[in-house]
Amino acid sequence: MRVAVFFTPPANHPLTVTAARWLLRDAFRGESFAAMAGGGFDAEALTALTAEPRRYGFHATMKAPFRLVGGASLADAEALLADFCREAQPCSLPMPRIATLGPFFALVPGAPAGEVDDLAARVVKAFDPLRAPPGAAELDRRRRAGLTLAQEANLTAWGYPYVFNEFRFHMTLTGPVPIEQQPAMAALLDQRFAPLLSGVAIETLALFVEDEPGQNFRVHAERRLAGVAQPDEP
């Protein structure tokens, strides 16, 4: 089993509902959907182009998937999520937009997102005591991507290369899209998601679980960020 701490809006949020239909799977309910052709793509093509993010569900990684250290349980992870969210403050995603990350499409902030980055860094640190060290096969898989020195240091220290200064908030919507199809994909995603992108806020965090290697991730628990900002000193 692996667990992860992801951001995803609540189950009934319009963005979550639309993204579940787009990815053809609802990570909250385990429900699957058939693809709807559009934008010059038939249902079969859209099913294939969304296969890679489908297994994880609609999410932004805060703490990447990890195995629990010996002696720790799923209940411990759920309790830590509750404790963390009781103190952590919600924050807004500035100017959310759909963009490409290499050949992939994702929902990303359109302006610097310091509060979001700070929240992600806090999640990484808070949940690390529950993380078992990655095995050799996982380390090799990460390194095959070609890591910078900073990313290698993160992998060694935190089990994942893309944390802290290497973190980039994103909610993946496709696998790799051939370059000649990217303009059509951009137009289709804009059609389906643009009306939902105003006022996106990170107000909850969720504990996702992969019960067995290769299985779909599911939402195990979700908690609201309930912390209150402290007034500035006079």
Question: What domains are defined for the chain?
Answer: 2-224 (3.90.1140.10)
Intervals of the chain under pLDDT 70: 228-234
CA 145 to chain centre: 19
User: pLDDT digits over 94-104, tens only?
Assistant: 999 999 999 99
For residue 200 the two structure tokens come to: 């996106």
Report pLDDT for 199: 86
Q: 121: which 2 tokens?
A: 């860094």
pTM across the whole model: 0.94
Tokens of 136: 């050799």
Burial of 208 (0-12, 13-18, 19+ CB in 10 A): buried
pLDDT recorded at residue 121: 98
The span from the CA of 94 to the CA of 166, in Å, is: 19
CA distances from 232 to 80, 122, 175, 206, 229 (A): 28, 21, 44, 30, 9
Helix axes 14-23, 182-193, angle to 10 degrees: 150
CB–CB of 174/50 below 8 Å? yes
| pLDDT tens for each residue of 58-106 | 999 999 999 999 999 999 999 999 999 999 999 999 999 999 999 999 9
- Distance (Å, rounded) from C-alpha 143 to C-alpha 227? 37
pLDDT of residue 229: 57
Q: How many CB atoms sit inside 10 A of residue 137's CB?
A: 8
